[in-house]
Structure 1
């Protein structure tokens, strides 16, 4: 049985949670392998009686909502422990069994000083800000790379934890007090905050790399769920307006401990249009009534931050890039229903950069910043498609849109989302 990676193919918010949840009933483990509580996703579940429940998840893998599935927070994740237990408690209050959650002993912990530094650094950058969520994600990853980070396993050894916090605060307090004129963090307060979680955390922590490889040896299926998306990847995204981790298929291996040879399939999630949150270039961004339409009908506000998302037309150049970087085998096209009611729907097929056509992503960031989209215009549709459950039930123009996007994007489209609920998805090809 396979290890499968689910990857965002744009700038995030494509609907990875829904896709993961759809596959969750057919897999044994769902693994979050990168990011932290800086990117949320919404899962809408409708039961047999028609009752709908909406869950907003920020740090937890969406597999936590699937009975019998083991959710895993991998070593590539950075964990805010207060947020973790807030989410767990909220789910427990709603009757969700969270006892199967497993957390890597090697995952890094977001400390109080990381959150403070994230916020003050963004303010200091002013117009050059990155647009972070201010939750300490970037500084925690920086500490990891600088080899001064705190890991989950450190919380179970008070002496080691204290020594590490003392060492890192010798540096961080210099920055906080002398550069940003902020109050110094204290060793005692930081250690006390983290130790308070030790007893509740201990039963969840294990060698998750070993756990997952043994599961694959037994023939079980492991689903690897990305936080953020390809264009936010620290190496392959629109740097520097990116996240601080590897959100591509390569990151699925390093962030989980599963070797590349065990990764059988890569599913790319792509919206029927494009959105992004935060700063940075966005060639198809709309500032007119069509952008307002996509924002309103698509309810384009961040799950974690509440920030309005920037909206634009579908960008096939980005989709082709994501297909190439990740080795996408299948796309899931989400939120097709949001395009209902438009006379025509533009699709970006290439860029014009200073009079030169680019059919692929420009290698130079300055060129991408100045890219002007070249559009093809497809006929729209007015019929309500939210109840369609087969491809043939879609209006002819909606079918034509899906086929055109597929031809432009570098991989087959195997499923189409036509609404927010769990069952509002059209399966074209089997994903597993």
Structure 2
């Protein structure tokens, strides 16, 4: 049995905390796509930890963690992250496993990412410059190197061959930066990676499915960044929706049970791309300040706006969401009035569907004004102690998107999650 947790917006929904909350109920936590551009924030005691590659169940002693085949892996980032986790007394050699089919991010992938973004000028996509896009391009172009290749004596030869190909591309983009230090760091990290548990991920996960173990598939980024169904071309390079679980882990569709979608009580986005409900005013600044909306991976300030129900309904539909978790609800505490986008106005017409190409259209949100609760909920322990206006807001979201909010987060702490009956 496989349950899925994934984001329903443009990433940064607080999935790390939610996975960490659910992790004790599962035997295996598995990342199924994405790379080190994802930053899942956890709190271990009073210490903040941001995980970029390791699944969020790593701090639970009895939980096995798998980096699946759909992920692209940066050995340098992984080694640093393992060292951070080790500072908490966690031995990753015991509970972290890596699929041998997982593609590697090479130093030249990072260089290509940077060179490509620089060449776009004002048309930048907003890449995190971690090499994710070029690594996925090599995967689909059947050029990529995988974790299992590290164990082959011809790896260095394979690496040099691919590096020479990348160098020609870099030359065409007039990229002259010296990346020799990146390469030295890479090969040091490769030696560390070879000491970890490299497994056949498909058999590894399916054996546990047949044994009746509970598996939680952890998504990265958000549904509106899906390479096929997101706000193309301002998207990530992988399938962030629930279908990506099957291709990223090698499990059959019928093994998936619950699809738990995570949404903020409002909206944020990092980088370029369409964002119909973005607030370019003091309210947007207030949301950013109260919510501490700065990227866990990049530190970039996030664009902020009211909740977009058109996009949220779409995300629930393409993922088959069975239950919702609403995070950062407490950020709306100080607002006397809040708003929800129920429709878009496009060319003078109101529509309730995501258009084909949002970047070519002038889209205005059609808002519904909602009474805020204008009081702190951080100390609330159960649903009945929540303000009536918040309970009404939750019911409104249920009805608007056709999926039930089952949990809300009312603060950053691990225990600040309330079950909704």
TM-score range normalised by the length of the shorter chain: over 0.9
Within the alignment, does 1:71 sit opposite 2:65 as a pair?
yes
User: Is residue 115–residue 175 contact of structure 2 (8 Å, CA) maintained in 1?
Assistant: no
Structure 1 segment 289-300 matched on structure 2, within 5 A: 289-300=282-293
**Which residue number corresponds to residue 383 of structure 1?**
375
Within the alignment, does 1:373 sit opposite 2:365 as a pair?
yes
User: Is residue 13–residue 275 contact of structure 1 (8 Å, CA) maintained in 2?
Assistant: yes
Change beyond 3 A, Cα 1:79–1:317: same
Change beyond 3 A, Cα 1:177–1:228: same
**Which residue number corresponds to residue 174 of structure 1?**
168
**Which residue number corresponds to residue 303 of structure 1?**
296
Structure 1 segment 23-422 matched on structure 2, within 5 A: 23-46=22-45, 52-98=46-92, 99-159=94-154, 161-182=155-176, 190=183, 193-194=186-187, 197-198=190-191, 200-366=193-359, 369-422=361-414
Give the SS at the match of 1:341.
coil
Structure 2 residues not aligned, in runs of 5+ = none
Within the alignment, does 1:13 sit opposite 2:12 as a pair?
yes
User: Is residue 74–residue 256 contact of structure 1 (8 Å, CA) maintained in 2?
Assistant: yes
User: Is residue 45–residue 421 contact of structure 1 (8 Å, CA) maintained in 2?
Assistant: no
Q: How far, CA to CA, are the matches of 2:134 and 2:86 in structure 1?
A: 31
Change beyond 3 A, Cα 1:401–1:215: same
Change beyond 3 A, Cα 1:302–1:196: closer
Q: How far, CA to CA, are the matches of 1:325 and 1:196 in structure 2?
A: 38
Q: How far, CA to CA, are the matches of 1:169 and 1:79 in structure 2?
A: 17
Q: How far, CA to CA, are the matches of 1:300 and 1:111 in structure 2?
A: 30
Cα deviation digits, residues 325-370 of structure 1 (max 9, x gap): 0000001011110001111101000100011111121223346x42
User: Is residue 8–residue 230 contact of structure 1 (8 Å, CA) maintained in 2?
Assistant: yes
User: Is residue 274–residue 359 contact of structure 2 (8 Å, CA) maintained in 1?
Assistant: no
The offset of 1:183, in angstroms, is: 5.7
The offset of 1:148, in angstroms, is: 0.6
Change beyond 3 A, Cα 1:326–1:220: same
Give the SS at the match of 1:363.
coil
The offset of 1:195, in angstroms, is: 6.8
Q: How far, CA to CA, are the matches of 2:246 and 2:189 in structure 1?
A: 31
Q: How far, CA to CA, are the matches of 1:239 and 1:194 in structure 2?
A: 35
Change beyond 3 A, Cα 1:195–1:305: closer
User: Is residue 25–residue 66 contact of structure 1 (8 Å, CA) maintained in 2?
Assistant: yes
Change beyond 3 A, Cα 1:170–1:334: same
Change beyond 3 A, Cα 1:222–1:261: same
Cα deviation digits, residues 356-396 of structure 1 (max 9, x gap): 111121223346x4211000000012221011121111111
Give the SS at the match of 1:62.
coil
- Give every structure 1 segment of 4 or more consecutive aligned residues whose post-TM-superposition deviation is greater than 6 Å: none
Q: Give aligned pairs, total.
A: 420
TM (norm. structure 2) is 0.96
TM (norm. structure 1) is 0.93
User: Is residue 30–residue 71 contact of structure 1 (8 Å, CA) maintained in 2?
Assistant: yes
How large is the Cα RMSD of the aligned pairs? 1.8
**Which residue number corresponds to residue 2 of structure 2?**
3
User: Is residue 173–residue 184 contact of structure 1 (8 Å, CA) maintained in 2?
Assistant: no
The offset of 1:170, in angstroms, is: 3.3
Structure 1 residues not aligned, in runs of 5+ = 47-51
Change beyond 3 A, Cα 1:312–1:175: same
Give the SS at the match of 1:63.
coil
Q: How far, CA to CA, are the matches of 2:177 and 2:292 in structure 1?
A: 39
